[in-house]
Structure 1
Amino acid sequence: MSTTRLLLLGVVRIFQPAYGYQLRRELLTWNVQDWANINPGSIYTGLRTLAKHGYLQELEQDGAHRPGRTSYKLTTDGETEYFSLLRGMLWTVDGFHPDKMQATISFMWSLRRDEVIAALEARITQLESWLKSEPFSERQILEDPGTPNHVVEMFRITTARDSGELQWTRDFLGRIRNGDYSFAGEPADWTPYPGMVTHWGEIPDPPPRTS
Protein backbone atom coordinates (compact mmCIF):
# COMPACT_ATOMS: atom_id res chain seq x y z
CA MET A 1 0.00 0.00 0.00
CA SER A 2 2.82 2.42 0.82
CA THR A 3 4.41 1.80 -2.59
CA THR A 4 1.11 2.47 -4.33
CA ARG A 5 0.61 5.65 -2.32
CA LEU A 6 4.08 6.94 -3.19
CA LEU A 7 3.61 6.16 -6.88
CA LEU A 8 0.27 7.93 -7.06
CA LEU A 9 1.40 10.98 -5.11
CA GLY A 10 4.65 11.13 -7.06
CA VAL A 11 3.12 10.94 -10.51
CA VAL A 12 0.50 13.55 -9.59
CA ARG A 13 3.31 15.78 -8.35
CA ILE A 14 5.08 15.52 -11.70
CA PHE A 15 2.10 16.38 -13.87
CA GLN A 16 -0.16 18.42 -11.58
CA PRO A 17 -2.82 19.29 -12.26
CA ALA A 18 -3.42 16.15 -14.26
CA TYR A 19 -6.41 14.04 -15.22
CA GLY A 20 -6.88 10.57 -13.83
CA TYR A 21 -6.67 9.06 -17.30
CA GLN A 22 -3.34 10.80 -17.93
CA LEU A 23 -1.93 9.56 -14.63
CA ARG A 24 -3.12 6.01 -15.28
CA ARG A 25 -1.59 6.00 -18.75
CA GLU A 26 1.74 7.28 -17.43
CA LEU A 27 1.96 4.69 -14.65
CA LEU A 28 1.25 1.89 -17.10
CA THR A 29 4.25 3.00 -19.19
CA TRP A 30 6.30 2.32 -16.04
CA ASN A 31 4.90 -1.26 -15.99
CA VAL A 32 3.72 -0.81 -12.40
CA GLN A 33 1.28 -3.68 -12.86
CA ASP A 34 4.29 -6.02 -13.04
CA TRP A 35 6.65 -4.83 -10.30
CA ALA A 36 4.42 -2.82 -7.94
CA ASN A 37 1.43 -5.18 -8.00
CA ILE A 38 -0.93 -2.36 -8.97
CA ASN A 39 -4.08 -3.34 -10.80
CA PRO A 40 -4.56 -0.75 -13.59
CA GLY A 41 -8.24 -0.55 -12.75
CA SER A 42 -7.46 0.38 -9.15
CA ILE A 43 -5.53 3.54 -10.02
CA TYR A 44 -8.67 5.68 -10.17
CA THR A 45 -9.82 4.23 -6.86
CA GLY A 46 -6.44 5.00 -5.33
CA LEU A 47 -6.58 8.61 -6.50
CA ARG A 48 -10.05 9.08 -5.03
CA THR A 49 -8.93 7.49 -1.75
CA LEU A 50 -5.97 9.86 -1.49
CA ALA A 51 -8.32 12.78 -2.16
CA LYS A 52 -10.70 11.50 0.53
CA HIS A 53 -7.85 11.49 3.05
CA GLY A 54 -6.81 15.02 2.13
CA TYR A 55 -3.62 14.24 0.23
CA LEU A 56 -4.98 15.23 -3.18
CA GLN A 57 -7.31 17.98 -4.30
CA GLU A 58 -9.86 17.00 -6.92
CA LEU A 59 -10.52 19.54 -9.67
CA GLU A 60 -13.73 18.73 -11.50
CA GLN A 61 -14.30 19.83 -15.09
CA ASP A 62 -17.75 21.24 -15.85
CA GLY A 63 -19.06 19.65 -12.67
CA ALA A 64 -18.30 16.17 -13.97
CA HIS A 65 -17.07 13.86 -11.22
CA ARG A 66 -15.87 10.95 -13.36
CA PRO A 67 -12.51 9.11 -13.36
CA GLY A 68 -11.43 10.46 -16.74
CA ARG A 69 -12.81 13.97 -16.14
CA THR A 70 -11.33 14.76 -12.74
CA SER A 71 -7.85 16.24 -12.39
CA TYR A 72 -5.69 16.16 -9.30
CA LYS A 73 -2.98 18.11 -7.52
CA LEU A 74 -1.21 17.63 -4.20
CA THR A 75 -2.41 19.39 -1.08
CA THR A 76 -0.01 20.56 1.62
CA ASP A 77 -0.62 17.28 3.45
CA GLY A 78 -0.02 15.39 0.21
CA GLU A 79 3.34 17.07 -0.26
CA THR A 80 4.32 16.17 3.30
CA GLU A 81 3.18 12.57 2.86
CA TYR A 82 5.06 12.28 -0.43
CA PHE A 83 8.38 13.24 1.13
CA SER A 84 7.71 11.15 4.24
CA LEU A 85 7.12 8.02 2.15
CA LEU A 86 10.03 8.75 -0.18
CA ARG A 87 12.49 9.26 2.65
CA GLY A 88 11.19 6.26 4.59
CA MET A 89 11.73 3.94 1.64
CA LEU A 90 15.10 5.44 0.72
CA TRP A 91 16.61 5.25 4.20
CA THR A 92 15.25 1.80 5.18
CA VAL A 93 16.10 -1.48 3.48
CA ASP A 94 13.18 -3.88 3.04
CA GLY A 95 14.53 -6.94 1.31
CA PHE A 96 11.13 -8.63 1.07
CA HIS A 97 9.59 -5.65 -0.76
CA PRO A 98 11.98 -4.62 -3.56
CA ASP A 99 9.15 -2.60 -5.12
CA LYS A 100 9.77 0.08 -2.48
CA MET A 101 13.25 0.86 -3.78
CA GLN A 102 12.00 0.61 -7.36
CA ALA A 103 9.44 3.31 -6.63
CA THR A 104 12.00 5.38 -4.73
CA ILE A 105 14.30 5.48 -7.75
CA SER A 106 11.43 6.94 -9.78
CA PHE A 107 11.27 10.01 -7.51
CA MET A 108 14.73 10.23 -5.97
CA TRP A 109 15.48 13.29 -8.10
CA SER A 110 13.17 15.39 -5.93
CA LEU A 111 15.67 15.14 -3.03
CA ARG A 112 19.01 16.91 -2.81
CA ARG A 113 22.13 15.00 -3.79
CA ASP A 114 23.73 15.13 -0.32
CA GLU A 115 20.68 13.47 1.27
CA VAL A 116 20.62 10.69 -1.33
CA ILE A 117 24.32 10.03 -0.72
CA ALA A 118 23.79 9.88 3.05
CA ALA A 119 20.80 7.55 2.65
CA LEU A 120 22.68 5.17 0.36
CA GLU A 121 25.55 5.07 2.86
CA ALA A 122 23.01 4.14 5.54
CA ARG A 123 21.56 1.40 3.32
CA ILE A 124 25.04 -0.05 2.81
CA THR A 125 25.55 -0.20 6.57
CA GLN A 126 22.19 -1.95 7.03
CA LEU A 127 22.93 -4.51 4.32
CA GLU A 128 26.43 -5.21 5.62
CA SER A 129 25.00 -5.80 9.09
CA TRP A 130 22.39 -8.22 7.77
CA LEU A 131 24.93 -10.16 5.75
CA LYS A 132 27.17 -10.46 8.81
CA SER A 133 24.34 -11.94 10.90
CA GLU A 134 22.87 -14.33 8.33
CA PRO A 135 25.45 -17.15 8.74
CA PHE A 136 24.49 -17.40 12.41
CA SER A 137 20.82 -17.64 11.53
CA GLU A 138 21.73 -20.40 9.09
CA ARG A 139 23.73 -22.24 11.73
CA GLN A 140 20.82 -22.08 14.17
CA ILE A 141 18.55 -23.77 11.61
CA LEU A 142 21.05 -26.55 10.89
CA GLU A 143 21.62 -27.23 14.59
CA ASP A 144 17.92 -27.33 15.46
CA PRO A 145 16.67 -30.94 15.18
CA GLY A 146 13.07 -29.76 15.09
CA THR A 147 13.48 -27.66 11.94
CA PRO A 148 13.72 -29.22 8.44
CA ASN A 149 17.16 -28.57 6.95
CA HIS A 150 15.72 -27.25 3.70
CA VAL A 151 14.50 -24.16 5.59
CA VAL A 152 18.10 -22.94 5.49
CA GLU A 153 17.62 -22.19 1.79
CA MET A 154 15.25 -19.39 2.77
CA PHE A 155 18.17 -17.69 4.49
CA ARG A 156 20.48 -18.42 1.58
CA ILE A 157 18.20 -16.85 -1.01
CA THR A 158 17.84 -13.83 1.27
CA THR A 159 21.63 -13.63 1.52
CA ALA A 160 21.90 -13.74 -2.26
CA ARG A 161 19.40 -10.90 -2.64
CA ASP A 162 21.09 -8.81 0.03
CA SER A 163 24.51 -9.39 -1.55
CA GLY A 164 23.21 -8.32 -4.95
CA GLU A 165 21.59 -5.19 -3.56
CA LEU A 166 24.71 -4.34 -1.57
CA GLN A 167 26.86 -4.43 -4.70
CA TRP A 168 24.36 -2.38 -6.69
CA THR A 169 24.06 0.19 -3.88
CA ARG A 170 27.83 0.61 -3.70
CA ASP A 171 28.02 1.09 -7.46
CA PHE A 172 25.05 3.46 -7.51
CA LEU A 173 26.53 5.52 -4.69
CA GLY A 174 29.78 5.81 -6.62
CA ARG A 175 27.97 7.08 -9.70
CA ILE A 176 26.09 9.70 -7.72
CA ARG A 177 29.27 10.85 -5.97
CA ASN A 178 30.84 11.25 -9.40
CA GLY A 179 28.06 13.61 -10.44
CA ASP A 180 25.73 11.30 -12.35
CA TYR A 181 22.02 12.13 -12.61
CA SER A 182 20.21 15.25 -11.47
CA PHE A 183 18.71 16.08 -8.12
CA ALA A 184 16.72 18.90 -6.53
CA GLY A 185 18.24 22.31 -7.18
CA GLU A 186 20.39 21.07 -10.08
CA PRO A 187 19.99 21.48 -13.85
CA ALA A 188 18.10 18.62 -15.50
CA ASP A 189 20.16 15.91 -17.18
CA TRP A 190 17.38 15.22 -19.70
CA THR A 191 14.81 17.20 -21.64
CA PRO A 192 11.20 16.48 -20.65
CA TYR A 193 8.58 17.13 -23.26
CA PRO A 194 6.67 20.40 -22.87
CA GLY A 195 4.25 20.46 -19.99
CA MET A 196 5.49 17.23 -18.45
CA VAL A 197 7.61 18.41 -15.55
CA THR A 198 6.96 21.98 -14.51
CA HIS A 199 9.30 22.04 -11.51
CA TRP A 200 12.29 19.95 -12.55
CA GLY A 201 15.38 21.12 -10.72
CA GLU A 202 13.36 23.34 -8.39
CA ILE A 203 12.44 22.90 -4.76
CA PRO A 204 8.85 24.11 -4.87
CA ASP A 205 7.04 25.94 -2.13
CA PRO A 206 4.29 23.88 -0.49
CA PRO A 207 0.85 24.45 -1.99
CA PRO A 208 -1.48 26.72 -0.02
CA ARG A 209 -3.89 25.09 2.37
CA THR A 210 -7.46 24.88 1.18
CA SER A 211 -10.43 25.06 3.50
Structure 2
Amino acid sequence: MHPISNVEFMLLQMIAECRQASGYDIKKLVDQRGYREWANIGTTSIYVGLRKLSDKGWIASEETDLKSGKGPIPTWFVLTEAGMAKLKDEILNSLSSTRERDNRFDLGLAAMPLIGKDAAIAALRKRLDFLREALKDIRQKFQSQGGVRLPLNVRMLFLHPISLIESEQAFVANLINELSEEARQYDDNH
Protein backbone atom coordinates (compact mmCIF):
# COMPACT_ATOMS: atom_id res chain seq x y z
CA MET A 1 0.00 0.00 0.00
CA HIS A 2 1.41 3.38 -1.00
CA PRO A 3 1.46 6.13 1.66
CA ILE A 4 -0.48 9.26 0.69
CA SER A 5 0.40 12.87 1.51
CA ASN A 6 -2.14 15.54 2.46
CA VAL A 7 -1.62 17.20 -0.93
CA GLU A 8 -2.28 13.93 -2.76
CA PHE A 9 -5.36 13.30 -0.58
CA MET A 10 -6.70 16.76 -1.44
CA LEU A 11 -5.99 16.32 -5.15
CA LEU A 12 -7.83 12.98 -5.25
CA GLN A 13 -10.82 14.63 -3.55
CA MET A 14 -10.96 17.53 -5.98
CA ILE A 15 -10.59 15.35 -9.09
CA ALA A 16 -13.33 13.01 -7.79
CA GLU A 17 -15.63 15.94 -7.05
CA CYS A 18 -15.11 17.51 -10.48
CA ARG A 19 -15.15 14.11 -12.24
CA GLN A 20 -12.27 15.46 -14.32
CA ALA A 21 -10.06 18.46 -13.68
CA SER A 22 -7.07 20.24 -15.12
CA GLY A 23 -4.21 21.55 -12.99
CA TYR A 24 -5.62 25.05 -13.51
CA ASP A 25 -9.09 23.95 -12.30
CA ILE A 26 -7.51 22.47 -9.19
CA LYS A 27 -5.48 25.61 -8.49
CA LYS A 28 -8.67 27.72 -8.75
CA LEU A 29 -10.50 25.36 -6.35
CA VAL A 30 -7.59 25.49 -3.86
CA ASP A 31 -7.78 29.31 -3.89
CA GLN A 32 -11.59 29.49 -3.69
CA ARG A 33 -11.88 27.09 -0.78
CA GLY A 34 -9.00 28.51 1.21
CA TYR A 35 -7.15 25.16 1.29
CA ARG A 36 -3.89 27.07 1.76
CA GLU A 37 -5.14 28.06 5.23
CA TRP A 38 -4.73 24.52 6.55
CA ALA A 39 -2.62 22.69 4.02
CA ASN A 40 0.81 23.42 2.63
CA ILE A 41 -0.20 23.44 -1.04
CA GLY A 42 1.25 25.74 -3.66
CA THR A 43 1.09 25.65 -7.45
CA THR A 44 4.27 23.55 -7.66
CA SER A 45 3.02 21.01 -5.12
CA ILE A 46 -0.22 20.64 -7.11
CA TYR A 47 1.67 19.59 -10.24
CA VAL A 48 4.18 17.42 -8.32
CA GLY A 49 1.23 15.76 -6.55
CA LEU A 50 -0.56 15.12 -9.84
CA ARG A 51 2.57 13.45 -11.22
CA LYS A 52 2.90 11.26 -8.10
CA LEU A 53 -0.77 10.25 -8.28
CA SER A 54 -0.32 9.35 -11.93
CA ASP A 55 2.84 7.33 -11.14
CA LYS A 56 0.91 5.40 -8.45
CA GLY A 57 -1.86 4.64 -10.95
CA TRP A 58 -4.54 6.54 -9.01
CA ILE A 59 -5.28 9.10 -11.74
CA ALA A 60 -5.11 9.01 -15.52
CA SER A 61 -4.62 11.97 -17.83
CA GLU A 62 -6.68 12.71 -20.89
CA GLU A 63 -5.63 15.17 -23.58
CA THR A 64 -8.43 17.20 -25.08
CA ASP A 65 -8.89 19.61 -27.93
CA LEU A 66 -11.00 21.88 -25.75
CA LYS A 67 -9.04 25.06 -25.32
CA SER A 68 -10.08 28.33 -23.78
CA GLY A 69 -7.84 31.36 -23.92
CA LYS A 70 -4.09 31.40 -24.40
CA GLY A 71 -1.58 28.84 -23.24
CA PRO A 72 -1.15 25.14 -23.82
CA ILE A 73 -4.00 22.69 -24.31
CA PRO A 74 -4.94 21.55 -20.81
CA THR A 75 -4.48 18.01 -19.59
CA TRP A 76 -7.53 16.63 -17.82
CA PHE A 77 -7.15 14.23 -14.91
CA VAL A 78 -9.64 11.55 -13.88
CA LEU A 79 -9.58 9.02 -11.05
CA THR A 80 -8.85 5.40 -11.84
CA GLU A 81 -10.72 2.62 -10.01
CA ALA A 82 -7.65 2.17 -7.79
CA GLY A 83 -7.62 5.93 -7.14
CA MET A 84 -11.28 5.94 -6.09
CA ALA A 85 -10.67 2.96 -3.78
CA LYS A 86 -7.65 4.70 -2.22
CA LEU A 87 -9.62 7.94 -1.80
CA LYS A 88 -12.51 6.17 -0.03
CA ASP A 89 -10.05 4.34 2.24
CA GLU A 90 -8.27 7.61 3.13
CA ILE A 91 -11.56 9.41 3.82
CA LEU A 92 -12.64 6.65 6.23
CA ASN A 93 -9.24 6.62 7.97
CA SER A 94 -9.06 10.40 8.28
CA LEU A 95 -12.59 10.75 9.66
CA SER A 96 -12.18 7.93 12.17
CA SER A 97 -8.66 8.31 13.51
CA THR A 98 -6.60 11.29 12.33
CA ARG A 99 -5.49 13.74 14.99
CA GLU A 100 -2.99 16.34 13.85
CA ARG A 101 -1.84 19.08 16.18
CA ASP A 102 0.70 21.86 16.27
CA ASN A 103 3.52 19.91 17.91
CA ARG A 104 5.80 22.95 17.82
CA PHE A 105 3.40 24.87 20.09
CA ASP A 106 3.30 21.88 22.47
CA LEU A 107 7.11 21.89 22.63
CA GLY A 108 7.02 25.60 23.42
CA LEU A 109 4.50 25.00 26.22
CA ALA A 110 6.78 22.35 27.74
CA ALA A 111 9.74 24.76 27.70
CA MET A 112 7.91 27.81 29.15
CA PRO A 113 9.72 27.69 32.54
CA LEU A 114 13.00 28.38 30.73
CA ILE A 115 11.89 31.88 29.64
CA GLY A 116 9.98 33.04 32.73
CA LYS A 117 6.33 33.98 33.22
CA ASP A 118 6.51 37.54 31.87
CA ALA A 119 8.15 36.52 28.60
CA ALA A 120 5.73 33.58 28.26
CA ILE A 121 2.72 35.87 28.82
CA ALA A 122 4.03 38.36 26.22
CA ALA A 123 4.56 35.56 23.67
CA LEU A 124 1.10 34.08 24.37
CA ARG A 125 -0.51 37.53 23.90
CA LYS A 126 1.18 37.69 20.48
CA ARG A 127 -0.28 34.25 19.75
CA LEU A 128 -3.75 35.58 20.63
CA ASP A 129 -3.21 38.44 18.14
CA PHE A 130 -2.05 35.92 15.52
CA LEU A 131 -5.10 33.70 16.17
CA ARG A 132 -7.46 36.69 16.00
CA GLU A 133 -6.08 37.65 12.56
CA ALA A 134 -6.19 34.05 11.29
CA LEU A 135 -9.81 33.75 12.45
CA LYS A 136 -10.75 37.02 10.76
CA ASP A 137 -9.16 35.88 7.47
CA ILE A 138 -10.91 32.49 7.49
CA ARG A 139 -14.28 34.07 8.34
CA GLN A 140 -13.87 36.59 5.50
CA LYS A 141 -13.03 33.81 3.01
CA PHE A 142 -15.99 31.79 4.29
CA GLN A 143 -18.37 34.70 3.74
CA SER A 144 -16.89 35.61 0.34
CA GLN A 145 -17.39 32.02 -0.88
CA GLY A 146 -21.05 31.97 0.13
CA GLY A 147 -21.04 31.32 3.89
CA VAL A 148 -23.99 29.27 5.12
CA ARG A 149 -25.18 28.72 1.53
CA LEU A 150 -22.13 26.55 0.77
CA PRO A 151 -22.57 22.76 0.55
CA LEU A 152 -22.05 21.04 3.91
CA ASN A 153 -18.63 19.54 3.05
CA VAL A 154 -17.27 22.91 1.90
CA ARG A 155 -18.81 24.73 4.90
CA MET A 156 -17.04 22.32 7.22
CA LEU A 157 -13.67 23.16 5.61
CA PHE A 158 -14.18 26.61 7.09
CA LEU A 159 -16.16 25.88 10.26
CA HIS A 160 -13.78 23.22 11.61
CA PRO A 161 -10.69 25.48 11.63
CA ILE A 162 -12.83 28.34 13.01
CA SER A 163 -13.93 26.08 15.86
CA LEU A 164 -10.35 24.94 16.54
CA ILE A 165 -9.02 28.51 16.57
CA GLU A 166 -11.79 29.65 18.93
CA SER A 167 -10.96 26.75 21.24
CA GLU A 168 -7.25 27.58 21.13
CA GLN A 169 -8.02 31.24 21.87
CA ALA A 170 -9.88 30.17 25.01
CA PHE A 171 -7.01 27.84 25.99
CA VAL A 172 -4.35 30.55 25.51
CA ALA A 173 -6.42 33.19 27.34
CA ASN A 174 -6.87 30.79 30.26
CA LEU A 175 -3.15 30.00 30.29
CA ILE A 176 -2.30 33.73 30.35
CA ASN A 177 -4.68 34.20 33.29
CA GLU A 178 -3.10 31.30 35.20
CA LEU A 179 0.44 32.55 34.55
CA SER A 180 -0.58 36.08 35.59
CA GLU A 181 -2.16 34.75 38.78
CA GLU A 182 0.96 32.71 39.61
CA ALA A 183 3.13 35.80 38.99
CA ARG A 184 0.90 37.92 41.29
CA GLN A 185 1.03 35.30 44.05
CA TYR A 186 4.81 35.11 43.71
CA ASP A 187 5.08 38.94 43.93
CA ASP A 188 2.76 39.02 46.97
CA ASN A 189 4.90 36.45 48.79
CA HIS A 190 8.27 38.09 48.01
TM-score range, shorter chain: 0.3 to 0.5
TM-score by length of 2: 0.47
Which is greater in Rg? 2
TM-score by length of 1: 0.43
- Specify which structure has the higher proportion of helix: 2
